Amino acid sequence: MSGRGKTSRVAAIGIAVTVLMFVGGAGSRARGRQGEIQAPLVTVHPAAKFDVSPPLRSLRGSGAKDDVPDCKEAGCGTSPGGADADQEQKPEEVAPAPVITAQGAAVEQKSQGKRAAVPLLDSLDGLGSGFTGPQGTATFRNPSDNSLAVGPDHIVQIVNTRIAVYSKKGAHYDKTGTVLYGPAATNAIFTGFGGACEARDNGDAVVRYDQLAKRWLIVMPIFGRIAPGEFSEQGKPAPPGGLDNPGPAVAPPANPPQPPPRTPHQCPVKKEGTFAMCYAVSVGPDPLGAYYRYAFERTLFPDYPRPAIWPDGYYVPTSTGDDVIQKHDCIADRSKMLLGQPATEQCIIIDGVNFLNNADIDGQKLPPAGAPNIMLAAGGTQLKKIFEDDGIYVWKVHVDWTTPTNTKAEGPAKIPVAPYHYLCNGQLTNCVPQPDTDRRLDVQGDKIMQRVVYRRIGNRESIVAAHAVATQAGGGGVRWYEFRLDKKRDVELYQQGTYAPDAFYHWIPSIAMDRKGDIGVGYSFGGIPNYAGQRFAARREGDPKGMLSFHETVLASGEAAQKNTLRWEDYTTTAMDPSDDCTFWYVGDYLQTGDENYRTKIGSFRVPGCK
């Protein structure tokens, strides 16, 4: 994906070259504590390459090596493959417990819900230690970066650099959990595509199910710089409106050898070249079928992608790294990519903000035509040792595919909430104690966790979000919110709560809302004498505000300590089942007796009364 090669390909498909512009206006200036934010920059990236793949079921990868981030020490951010040993605190370095304000303590739920626990409907072991499938076994590295998507007949899971597809009971399969594909390298989907997407198997890949189009979306970042001329042959681009023809699928080769165990190191840094984001959009509803594939070059390190589906685009916020306070919100042209046509990606660069999350649609009811996407961030700045805030910050993101100069992110507007303090002062810190070891686990306490979910019920539009905060009892709790949009499409707080039913730790939450307005959230649970495991809590629409009214359900009880690293998950996923729009699916990590590394557990739940 050299610059020289891209120029010729862009000319061939008739797309304008990259444009850099300022997006001004008072709306792009911050207020309050986020006042250092500058007017966002927007860049437009034409696809450096696009084609259509053979069916995924026929692809096994090309033996590509795991990609190495082009960064140093903490600059690798939350990216897997960074120099974990260099980033981690020493075990004795533990943040002191903060003072929780009366206003913050006032929203704590200090006991479990009185309703009976939501039933666990299905449970299966996913990618991780002990996993086997049609492609054999695999080596998994920390953190797991758990991503999950659910369709009418399939479940797709990505854990860092590996992907698997499972059956889901319904019209096509008589039971849930049969491994249909995997474990395969995540970039197996880019076999035959050429360039860095095929050559490098990168972590932080994420999968989503686009319920509106009945398609699957896979997004994989490229963390190592692509040197000029490194990939001289990208293949012939498709003519306008057409598709590349990769030819018939060949017999799959043997599963590529697993990479050797990673050793502590500092990542080499290249001075020249670009990064990239690789997209794959399924041609139809079958995740094992063909995919439209795209590569977009990026000038900035694309860490920690969190894709969101909106009618006018695929929104993918990323971070430049953890030693710089800079984020990007990139939007890919969804309508073009669903047809396999030439497409562009527009990126808005925003300085001085926390990790961004765009609203991701659940359900079939759309926002009003042309409505901007809502983007959220927590307050505070870990790099400046500001670990607390009393606001959630909101942007309205509008993309214009005809006139990119009109693309903008208006905000941030501060939404006042109960004061909160990052759990254990943020990310990459010693936090959750474990039995049998002095190794504590990281909690990613500085950010709103994926997904931020948009749900329309009648004329009501809700957005739910969650993050981990310190609690009065001394452990960690799940702070969760339901926001609603008013007639002016401004965001207002409807309800909030901190789920802290005990002095243990509840962290790395992932939240969603079903078609009735019931809310469910999955999270990690731990703290001595408990090994880290996974739990799920929920509330019914109409229950007292700020309360998770159902007793928590245990998805996976931990049986052993993770001793090899403090990195724990980085994120998990709660996804809604499109078959009924009532069933929550959640995935998270745990260890069984004798395990030295994590395994994952996938489970489904349904709030009684949702049909």
pLDDT value at position 230? 85
Mean pLDDT across the chain, nearest whole number? 86
Residue 28 has pLDDT above 60, yes or no: no
- 90 lies in some domain: no
Contacts of 368 (CB under 8 A, 6+ apart): none
In the chain, pLDDT over 90 holds for what percent of residues? 76
pLDDT value at position 86? 40
Q: Name the least confident of 13-17, 42-46, 159-163, 208-212.
A: 13-17
Q: What is the rounded CA–CA span in Å between residue 100 and residue 90?
A: 26
The residue that leads in pLDDT, 11 or 173, is 173
- 128 lies in some domain: yes
Residue 167: give the domain boundaries. 3-82+113-258+270-606
How buried is residue 154: exposed, middle or buried, by Cβ count under 10 Å (0-12/13-18/19+)? Answer: buried
pLDDT tens per residue across span 298-315:
999 999 999 999 999 999
Residue 2 has pLDDT above 70, yes or no: no
pLDDT value at position 268? 47
What b/e sequence results for 407-421 when a residue is b if at least 16 CB atoms lie within 10 Å of its CB, and e otherwise?
A: bbbbbbbbbebbbbb
**Comparing C-alpha atoms, which of 602, 448, 572, 557 is closest to residue 160?**
572
pLDDT value at position 321? 73
pLDDT tens per residue across span 507-538:
999 999 999 999 999 999 999 999 999 999 99
Residue 487 has pLDDT above 70, yes or no: yes
Count the domains in the chain: 1
pLDDT value at position 11? 29
Is pTM, for the whole model, over 0.85?
Answer: yes
Q: Rounded mean pLDDT of 413-441?
A: 96
- 96 lies in some domain: no
Residue 92 has pLDDT above 60, yes or no: no
Q: What is the rounded CA–CA span in Å between residue 439 and residue 185?
A: 30
Residue 30 has pLDDT above 50, yes or no: no
Q: End-to-end CA distance of the chain, in Å? A: 49
Residue 551 has pLDDT above 50, yes or no: yes
- 99 lies in some domain: no
pLDDT value at position 60? 82
Contacts of 431 (CB under 8 A, 6+ apart): 94, 95, 423, 424, 440, 441, 442, 443, 445, 476, 505, 507, 566
Residue 233 has pLDDT above 90, yes or no: no
Residue 418 has pLDDT above 80, yes or no: yes
pLDDT value at position 324? 74
Q: Rounded mean pLDDT of 532-557?
A: 98
- 91 lies in some domain: no
Bridge-based pairing of strands 200-201 and 65-66 is: parallel
Both structure tokens of 194: 């050429």
The residue that leads in pLDDT, 573 or 237, is 573
CB 61 within 8 A of CB 199: no
- Would you say how long the chain is, in residues? 611
Sign of the Cα pseudo-torsion (411, 415, 420, 423, in order) = negative
Residue 18 confidence class, pLDDT cut points 50, 70, 90: very low
Q: What is the 3-state secondary structure (H, E, C) of 75-112?
A: HHCCCCCCCHHHHCCCCCCECCCCCCCHHHHCCEECCC
Residue 37 has pLDDT above 80, yes or no: no
- 329 lies in some domain: yes
Both structure tokens of 517: 């307005």
- 354 lies in some domain: yes
Residue 71 confidence class, pLDDT cut points 50, 70, 90: low
Residue 261 has pLDDT above 70, yes or no: no
- 131 lies in some domain: yes
